Structure 1
Amino acid sequence: MNVQHADDHSAPAGRRKRLPRAEREQQILAVAEQVFATNGYQASSMDDIANRIGLSKPMLYEYFGSKEGLLLACVERARRELLEATTEAAAGAGENAHQLLHDCLLAFFRFSDEHAQSWALLRTEAAIPLATVNTALEATRQQQTDLTARLLEASRPDLDQVQLEAFAESIIGACERLALWREKRSEITAEEATRHLMALISPSLVAQA
């Protein structure tokens, strides 16, 4: 198939600009993420995304294969950004287990504020009837659960693996619910949400004799 490129006659005059492929992909993902988060997956169209970027629709398919492929790429980028934010927070917190968990929770809530479009994608799996996307979203949740379990293990060496997993799953579930709650309570800052959750889980950070 002969596919025209974004910087040829397929793009309107004044919008043609040759970009390196990696840069173009990031541009596409930024626009697609906004469209998916605002309109929902079903109501979003590849035509709309292509027009906003100044690409032909065939070129958009050349980059990502399908609308589902484009959404998966958006979810993967959001997952990578969330992991980077929380692991960076853990690296800067020192060895105090309480501080480690606090800073990672704070990074999560700040992520939901600073990357609202990414967070909107990560929290709407029920509205996306695609098994591949739901699998990717669950993988995002699992990566945060695994990170939390490793942090808990440092402060609670007395816990066995099943207990660590149960605690971590509970904390991640609480994070998601608090993030959703904050959408209805915009006055609650990331710092306040972290403080509330730490008040709940701090007693569990103390190793039992």
Structure 2
Amino acid sequence: MGNTSRMTSLQRREQLIQVGRALFAAKGFEAVSVEEIAANAKVSKPIVYEHFGGKEGLYAVIVDREMRALTDALTATLSDPDMHPRQIVEKAALALLTYIEENAEGFQVLVRDSPSTDPAGSFNSLLGDISMRVEDLLTAAFKRQKLSTKGVPYYAQMLVGMTVFTGQYWADRPKVNKEQLAAYIVDLAWHGLSRLDSKPTLRFEGQRAQQIAAKAAREAAKDAAKSAAKGVAEDAAQESDSSSTPASAEPESDPSSPVESEDAN
């Protein structure tokens, strides 16, 4: 086994964590076996059990470590309530993308389907905690802007979800650098946040939009009916005027006309 046999217990533990993280990131929890972990670490299966009690224990340690790293990175950016709202969005987006860039395998472990042994320690739980912090900041900002806070919990979920989902996409397709992607995210998020309506509604779809459209159609039909009725009335008035006008009298003979002159002769 070469140098691996001379590792200290702490070094062996770190090696197994690194091996397990790479395997879980590439294949997911269910597809990885203790045999595969041991083979990749060039140790026997009992060594894995000795340190972690099995793959579940190793997975839990890896997830806990990654969640701590990501939590620290994100909460640090959301700790200053006096920061400009746009700067908060910028720092949060950059913090997440930096974590993804520097901990690619760890991020893949977090976003993959995980065993439901500890829901409280799941990635979704972490995102829920982050969303609540964003919600607190948005609530304060909305109150300053005299906006309704009814939708704040949803806006917080949108911001976090948009950033995380985009980060997942970018992790597999890093065609732009971290700062450029953060600028894309912030551009979309900020222009939305800075132009929020106090009571937003759907314009073209949904029950209210359909009611408005139906009302507009009824009004248009009424106007069209009024115009048509007015046109009929005007036509009738014109016909009435023309029928009541007396016929023109026969024009008197012109005594100087050639015909009259011939009769006179």
Question: Does the alignment pair 1:109 with 2:97?
Answer: yes
What is the rounded CA distance, in whole Å, between the counterparts of 2:99 and 2:21 in structure 1?
A: 15
Residue number in structure 2 paired with 1:37: 25
Residue number in structure 2 paired with 1:17: 6
Question: Does the 8 Å contact 2:142/2:148 carry over to 1?
Answer: no
Structure with bigger gyration radius = 2
Q: Which structure would you say has the larger RCO, counting Cα contacts within 8 Å and 6 or more residues apart?
A: 1
Question: Does the alignment pair 1:142 with 2:128?
Answer: yes
What is the rounded CA distance, in whole Å, between the counterparts of 1:206 and 1:154 in structure 2?
A: 17
Measured after TM superposition, the shift of residue 82 of structure 1 is: 0.6
Question: CA 1:28 to 1:156, structure 2 compared with 1: closer, same or farther past 3 Å?
Answer: farther
Question: Does the 8 Å contact 1:33/1:118 carry over to 2?
Answer: yes
Residue number in structure 1 paired with 2:46: 58
Q: Deviations over 1:106-154 (max 9, x none)?
A: 11012112111011112222xx4x3226652221222222232233234
Counterpart of 2:8, as a letter, is L
Question: Does the 8 Å contact 2:135/2:153 carry over to 1?
Answer: yes
Question: Does the alignment pair 1:81 with 2:69?
Answer: yes
Percent identical: 22
Question: CA 1:106 to 1:94, structure 2 compared with 1: closer, same or farther past 3 Å?
Answer: farther
Question: CA 1:17 to 1:88, structure 2 compared with 1: closer, same or farther past 3 Å?
Answer: farther
Measured after TM superposition, the shift of residue 199 of structure 1 is: 1.7
Measured after TM superposition, the shift of residue 206 of structure 1 is: 7.4
Residue number in structure 1 paired with 2:107: 119
Q: 2:58 aligns with which of 49, 56, 70?
A: 70
Measured after TM superposition, the shift of residue 161 of structure 1 is: 6.7
TM-score, length-scaled by structure 1: 0.76
Range 146-155 or range 104-113, more displaced: 146-155
Gaps of 5+ in 2: 199-265
Question: Does the 8 Å contact 2:131/2:156 carry over to 1?
Answer: yes
1:197-208, aligned counterparts within 5 Å? Answer: 197-202=185-190, 203-204=192-193
Question: Does the 8 Å contact 1:97/1:154 carry over to 2?
Answer: no
RMSD: 3.0
Question: Does the 8 Å contact 1:35/1:44 carry over to 2?
Answer: yes
Question: Does the alignment pair 1:152 with 2:138?
Answer: yes
Residue number in structure 2 paired with 1:173: 161
Partner secondary structure for residue 177 of structure 1 = helix
Q: Deviations over 1:59-106 (max 9, x none)?
A: 311322221222222122111111111233445897223212210111
